[in-house]
Amino acid sequence: MSKAQTDAVVARVQSVPDQSAKTWTLVAPRDAVGKLPTPPYTVVQPSDGTNTADRFTGPRSVSHPRFVLHFVGSSYDNAQATLERVKAKFIDPVSKFPILLTVSGESVKNFIWESPLPVQVDNDVTPPLLYASAEISWDAETL
């Protein structure tokens, strides 16, 4: 993952009106007394993913960046609703086809949105937080 890829994902999440100022990379900031932000909010965790060389006859390589998105809510409905609003910015709700990202200097193909885990509960904080997760990835080739 590159900074440009991370910026593209964060910008897309921030295009959801209630997430425009409530989306952070890696961790949500705590205030002066150590309190987390009021849900709902989104945390984007970038990962470098996998790099592959698909052709043996030329210098073509493909990176496969991966991002885990955590949609933190105060209830199951709140976390799930946030996931669905953000998902609609990446996957067209009518056609079910991906809405590809624009990343400077690369071609984006084969976008994948996965939500393999059920909604989770974090009881280590008070009050407990509920969060839904999604993983996104794509094939990125340098232009």
Cα(119)–Cα(77) distance, rounded to whole angstroms? 10
Total-model pTM: 0.90
Q: Which residues contact 132 (CB under 8 A, 6 or more apart)?
A: 70, 71, 73, 79, 80, 82, 83, 115, 119, 120
Cα(96)–Cα(83) distance, rounded to whole angstroms? 15
Note down the domain range covering 45: 3-142
Q: Quote the strand ranges of the chain, DSSP E.
A: 23-25, 41-53, 61-73, 106-114, 120-122, 129-142
Identify whether the C-beta of residue 29 lies closer than 8 Å to the C-beta of residue 37.
yes
Residue 24 has pLDDT above 80, yes or no: yes
Q: What is the mean pLDDT of residues 8-22?
A: 97
CA distances from 139 to 77, 87, 108, 128 (A): 32, 19, 6, 36
As given in the structure block, the two tokens for residue 94 are 């009518």
What CATH code is carried by the domain that includes residue 49? Answer: 3.30.2000.30
Is 13 buried (19+), middle (13-18) or exposed (0-12) by CB count in 10 A? buried
For 46-85, write each residue's pLDDT tens digit: 987 666 666 666 656 788 999 999 999 999 999 999 999 9
pLDDT of residue 18: 95
Q: What is the mean pLDDT of residues 109-137?
A: 92
pLDDT of residue 142: 83
Q: Per the structure, how many domains does the chain have?
A: 1
